[in-house]
Amino acid sequence: MGETLGQRMNKLMDDHFVGREFEQHVFTTMLQGLEERSERILNLHGTAGIGKTFLLNRFGKLAERVGTRAAYVDAKEAFGSEEVFCGLLLQALGESTEIPDIPACINAINDKAREQKVVLLIDGFETMGSLDHRIREKLLPGLDANVLTVIAGRHSLEGPWRRSAVWSSIVVKLPLKELDYEVVRGYLCQRGVTDERQLDEIWLRTLGHPLSLNLSLDGSRGETVLSRDMAANPEPPEECVRQWLGEAPDNALRELLYAASVPRSFHQEQLGELLGRSVSDAEFDRLIGLSFTNRTPRGWQLTELVWETLRASFKTRMPSRFAEYADKTIAHYNRLLDQAHTGRGKGWEIDQLMRFSSSPVLRAHLRHSRDCGHYLEPIDFANYADAETYIEERLRTAKPQRIRCSDPQTGALFRFEMSAEESLLRLSALPLNELLRTGPDSVRLVRSKEGNVLGLFAIVPIHGGTAAFLRSAPLSRMYFETRETILSEGSERYPAGWFVYAMDVVDLEDESLRSAIVQAIFEKIAEGGLVLQSPPPLAYFRHACEGLGFGCADVPSHPAYGESYPAYVYEIDTRGNRLKDYLRKMVPQRGALIEGHNADAGAAAKAEAAEEIPRTIEAIMAALTPREKEVASLLTQGLSNSDIAAALFVSEAAVKKHVNAMLSKYGLKNRTQLARAILDGRSPYE
C-alpha cells in the first residue's frame, strides 16, 4: 500500500518544521523527568498563527521516538461538549466506549500509563468554555503520575489555574514568540529562497511570524516562489488579519482594538481621548486580555506585526477616522511635552510622536524600537572595572555586522553591513578616563534588566567646565574651533547642549540595543539644546543621522577614526523654541498623515525615501572625467592637493583645476562640501 494522505501531510509538517529548540528541550526534559518532577502540565500559549499546532505535532513525534504514547485532541472540534471531547480523546488513544465521559477517559489513559508514558496534547484550549472547569477539576486530578499533559491556547492558563498554589506548582508556562532571523533564513533557504534581498524582505514583512511566513510563499511541485500577495503588498496576508480579528468578534471590542492600533503604546485614558468617550474597566480588560496585547513599563502594546497589520487595515478601511485618531495622538504627545518643565525624561514621548513622521527613513529606524527593560548606569569607582571589561570583550569578540530595517508603511528596505574592524571604530576614538572627568553622568553603561553590560554611551554636556576637553578631543575639536562661543553659553546645570561622543553596543543587529540608542538621543533632543555627534563615516550611521533629523555641520572633516575614515559632525539645534520647529519638521500636521488618501501614496513614499537619501556613487560620479574620479577618490580619504598630486604624478595646479571643475559641476563652494557629497554618495541605500 502506498503512502496515505495523512502520512504525506505529517511528513510535510516535519519537513517544514524549523526552530523551537528551546521549547523542544523543555518538553523532552519534562517527559524524561516525570518520575522526579512535580510538574505535570506544560502550557504553550501565543497568538494566532504563532505555530502552536505545528509544535504539538512535533512534541508527538518526539514522544513516539522514545516509546511514549501520544494522543492529540483539538478542543475546537468539541464545541464545549464533554461527550464529544472525551470521544475524540478516546479515539486518539485507540479506545472506544459506549459512554464517552471523563471516568472512561481516566480509565483508558491510566491503563496505557501502566505500560508506558503517555502524553496528552490538547490544542485550542481557549475554546473550552465551561469544559475548562471539568478538565481541571475532574479529568487531570485522576490521571496517573506517568502522564504529561500539554495544553496549548492563545492565552496562558489564568484564573483558578493561577490562583491555586497547587495548580501553579505543577504548571510550566511556555510562551511562544516569533522565530528569530537565523531560523527564518534557514527555512527560506530550505524552501529555495536564496536571494539576499528577498530573504530580508520576507523577514521584515513577516517578522518571523510563522503563519505570515508560510503564507508569504507559494509551494507547488517542490518549488517555492514569493506569493503574489507578498510581492505586491508589504503587509501580511489577509488570512492573518482574519485570525487576529477573530479574537474581537463584536463591534465594540473591534472599535477599541482599531483605536489601540493608532499609537504604538496605549492606556485606558488615552483610548478614551481617541474615542471621545470614557472606556469602561470591563471594555479595557477585554482588550488587554487579547492574546496579542502585552504589558509594557509605559502601558500596553499590540505585538509588533499585529500592530502594523491592524493599523494598515484601519487606515485603508476608514482613512478619515484614522486621520482623526492620528491627529489626536499627535496632540496628546505634544501636550505631554508642553507640560514638562524641562525635556528630561521625555525621550519616550518623542519616540512615540515620531511614529507619525513623514520620513520613511526615520520610520524604518523606529520600527523595532520598544520598551525592552535596558537601563543606563553612570560609571563610577564601583563599576569602572565593568566598563574596562566591556571594552576588552568588545575588542576581543568583534564580528561583522549586518543590519536591516524597513519602513512598515511603504515596504522600503534598507540594508547595511560593516566589518568587525568598522564595528569598533567608535571605541577606537574613546578616551574613557578623560570622558569620565567631564561629568558624573557623561559615561554610562547600558545594562539589561538582568544586569549584563550590553553597551557604553558617552554623552558630554557642553559648558565652560567641559570646554577644555571639547576643544582638544579628536571628534569635537574641529567643530569648536569655529563655534567657540557656544562653550560659554551653558552651565553645568543647564548645558548649551551635548556632544554624543560614543554610543557603542555589543551587537547593532540587536533591535533592542538600537532602540536604546534612539531613546538616548531623543532624551537629549527633548531637553532643548544643541545635540552634536560625529559617528564613523559609514552608511548606517549617516543614514541614521539623516533619519533622526541631524544636519551636517559646515565644518571640515576630521581623521579621528583614522585617515581612511574622514568623519563629519552632525547637529540638531532644539534650543529655545526650536524644539517645536524640529517636531513640526519631523511630524506632519493635520491632514498630511495618510498616504492612503490617494492611489499613488505607496509609490510617492518610496520616492520620498529615495529623495531623502543621498544619490548613489554611480549617479554622483557619472558627470566626472576619469582623472576627476581619481582625484575625487583621494579627496574623500582626506588627502591635501599636494598629496593627491604626488599620488597621481601630476602638478598641484592640475589637481586644483580638477577640484574646481568638480565644484562647478556640483554647484558647491569648497572641497569640504565636495568630499561630503562624494562620501554620502558612496552608499547605495537599498
| CATH code at position 656 | 1.10.10.10
Higher pLDDT: 478 or 365? It is 478
Most confident of 46-50, 191-195, 262-266, 644-648: 262-266
| 61-109 pLDDT, tens digit each | 999 999 999 999 999 888 888 899 999 999 998 887 777 889 999 999 9
Q: How far is C-alpha 109 from the chain's CA centre? A: 45
Pairing of strands 401-406, 453-462: unpaired
Instruction: For residues 456 and 575, state if they share a domain.
Output: yes
The H or E element containing residue 570 is strand 570-573
Q: Which domain holds residue 576?
A: 375-586
Residue 359 lies in a domain: no
Q: Which residues pair with 42 in a beta bridge?
A: 150, 172
Examine the domain organization and report whether 642 and 516 are in the same domain. no
Per mean pLDDT, which range of 215-229, 405-419, 581-595 is the poorest?
215-229
Q: What angle do CA 252, 255, 258 make, to 5 degrees?
A: 150
3-state SS assignment for residue 387: helix
Instruction: List the strands of the sheet with 551-552, edge to edge.
Output: 375-378, 443-447, 453-462, 497-505, 530-533, 570-573, 551-552
**pLDDT number for residue 482:** 87
Taking the C-alpha atoms of residue 511 and residue 492, their distance in angstroms, rounded to an integer, is: 33
463 in the same domain as 556? yes
In this structure, the answer to whether residues 141 and 187 fall within a common structural domain is no
* Four-residue CA torsion sign, 616, 621, 626, 629: negative
Backbone conformation region of residue 129, classed left if phi is above 0, alpha if psi is from -120 to 50, else beta: left
Q: Which residue has the higher pLDDT, 403 or 6?
A: 403
Q: Cβ of 6: how many Cβ atoms within 10 Å?
A: 8
Closest alpha carbon to 428 in 620, 525, 541, 565: 565
Residues 418 and 300 in one domain: no
Q: How far is CA 673 from the centre of its chain?
A: 35
Q: What percent of the chain has pLDDT over 90?
A: 43
Residue 605 lies in a domain: no
The grid coordinates listed for 438 are 567631564
Q: Which residues does 356 contact at the CB level (< 8 Å), separation at least 6?
A: 326, 329, 330, 587, 588, 593
What is the DSSP-derived secondary structure letter of residue 261? T
In this structure, the number of other CB atoms found within 10 A of the CB of residue 188 comes to: 21
Do both 247 and 229 map to the same domain?
Answer: no
Which of 233-237, 563-567, 569-573 is predicted least confidently? 233-237
The Cα–Cα gap between 591 and 193 comes to 41
Alpha carbon distances (Å) from 519 to 491, 496, 546? 24, 20, 16
Looking at 140, 159, 175, which one is the last position of a domain? 175
Kindly state whether residues 399 and 381 are assigned to the same domain.
Answer: yes
656, 50, 683, 78: which is closest to 415 by C-alpha?
Answer: 683
**What is the per-residue pLDDT across 16-68, written as a single tens digit (0 to 9) for each?**
678 899 999 999 999 999 988 889 999 999 988 888 998 999 999 999 999 99
Asked whether residue 316 is assigned to any structural domain, the reply reads yes
Q: Are residues 561 and 485 in the same domain?
A: yes
Confidence of residue 2 (pLDDT cuts 50, 70, 90): low
Q: What would the pLDDT profile of 298-352 be if each residue is shown by its tens digit?
A: 899 998 888 888 898 898 889 999 999 999 999 999 888 877 655 555 778 888 8
- Residue 316's pLDDT is 86
Tell me, what CATH number does 521's domain have?
A: 3.40.630.30
Q: What is the mean pLDDT of residues 667-681?
A: 70
| Sequence letter at residue 552 | C
Q: Are residues 202 and 290 in the same domain?
A: no
579 Cβ contact list (under 8 Å, min separation 6): 337, 343, 525, 526, 528
Task: Decide if pLDDT at 425 tops 90.
Answer: yes
Q: What is the CATH number of the domain that holds 258?
A: 1.10.10
Same domain, 384 and 485: yes
Residue 362 within any structural domain of the chain? no
Which of 242, 240, 212, 241 lies closest to 227, judged by CA? 212
Please compute the mean of the pLDDT values over residues 376-396 and round it to a whole number. Answer: 94
What is the spatial distance between Cα 261 and Cα 653, in angstroms, rounded to a whole number?
62
Average pLDDT, the chain: 83
Query: Is the pLDDT confidence value at 365 over 70?
Result: yes
Statement to judge: residues 133 and 186 lie in one domain: no
More confidently predicted of 661 and 228: 661
Where among 175, 199, 222 does a domain terminate?
Answer: 175
Picking from 128-132, 133-137, 367-371, 643-647, which range would have the lowest pLDDT averaged per residue? Answer: 367-371
pLDDT tens for each residue of 595-634: 333 334 444 444 443 433 334 444 456 667 778 888 887 8
Mean pLDDT of 122-148: 91
pLDDT band at 399 (very low <50, low <70, confident <90, very high): very high
Q: Are residues 437 and 489 in the same domain?
A: yes
- Return the CATH number at 167: 3.40.50.300
Classify residue 379: in a domain, yes or no: yes
245 in any annotated domain: yes
What domain count does the chain have? 5
Q: Per the domain annotation, does 559 fall within a domain?
A: yes
How far is it between the farthest Cα atoms of the chain?
A: 104
- d(Cα 366, Cα 547) in Å, to the nearest integer? 10
Q: At what angle do helices 21-32 and 52-65 cross, to 10 degrees?
A: 40
- Domain boundary among the residues 313, 329, 348 is at 348
Provide the 10 A C-beta neighbour count for residue 42: 22
pLDDT, position 229: 44
Tell me the torsion sign for CA atoms 131, 133, 134, 135: positive
Instruction: Determine, yes or no, domain membership for 21.
Output: yes
Percentage of the chain beyond pLDDT 70 is 86
Amino acid letter at 412? A
